[in-house]
């Protein structure tokens, strides 16, 4: 009987790994948008953190606004990164909610 339990545990681990891989792959299909300057700078990214596009309001495209544009781009990137992390955590939580894992265990391993 102990072999059956071990086999079931191994099967559960393999299924969990497959679910995690599918969840990781789905993160490329989830888009987030980081904003700065009240929407003057927008960054589109995937939940995996790949930057898809940047939109800068034309009013910022003046040499005198260079430093502000740089700051706004950095802020929008950070906002997009935070939203991507939040979306990724949410997706991973959906996958791991049914797994028998100890509290606080982070996945993927």
CATH placement of domain 2-96: 3.30.1310.10
Confidence of residue 4 (pLDDT cuts 50, 70, 90): low
Query: Domain residue spans in the chain?
Result: 2-96
- Alpha-carbon gap, residue 73 to 68, rounded angstroms: 9
Report the pLDDT averaged over residues 41-65. 92
Torsion of CA 49, 102, 15, 12, to 10 degrees: 170
The answer to whether the beta carbons of residues 46 and 106 sit under 8 Å apart is no
Which residues, including other chains, have CB under 8 Å from residue 36's CB and lie 6 or more apart?
71, 72, 73, 74, 75, 76, 79
- Alpha-carbon gap, residue 35 to 45, rounded angstroms: 11
Would you state the pLDDT for residue 101? 59
Would you state the pLDDT for residue 59? 92
Would you state the pLDDT for residue 10? 79
> What three-state secondary structure class fits 52?
strand
Phi–psi pair at 28, nearest 5 degrees: -70, -20
Q: What is the pLDDT of residues 59-92, one digit of tens each?
A: 999 999 999 999 999 999 999 999 999 988 888 7
Report the pLDDT averaged over residues 6-11. 79
Would you state the pLDDT for residue 76? 94
| 33 DSSP β-pair partners | 44
pTM exceeding the 0.85 threshold for the entire prediction: no
Would you state the pLDDT for residue 3? 55
């Amino acid at each position: 009987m102990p072999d059956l339990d071990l086999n079931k545990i191994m099967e559960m681990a393999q299924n969990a790994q497959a679910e995690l891989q599918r969840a990781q792959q789905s993160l490329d299909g989830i888009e987030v948008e980081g904003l700065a300057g009240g929407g003057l700078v927008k960054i589109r990214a995937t939940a995996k953190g790949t930057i898809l596009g940047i939109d800068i309001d034309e009013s910022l495209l003046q040499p005198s606004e260079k430093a502000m544009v740089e700051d706004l781009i950095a802020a929008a990137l950070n906002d997009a990164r935070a939203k991507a992390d939040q979306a990724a955590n949410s997706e991973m939580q959906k996958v791991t909610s049914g797994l028998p894992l100890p509290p606080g265990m982070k996945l993927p391993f």
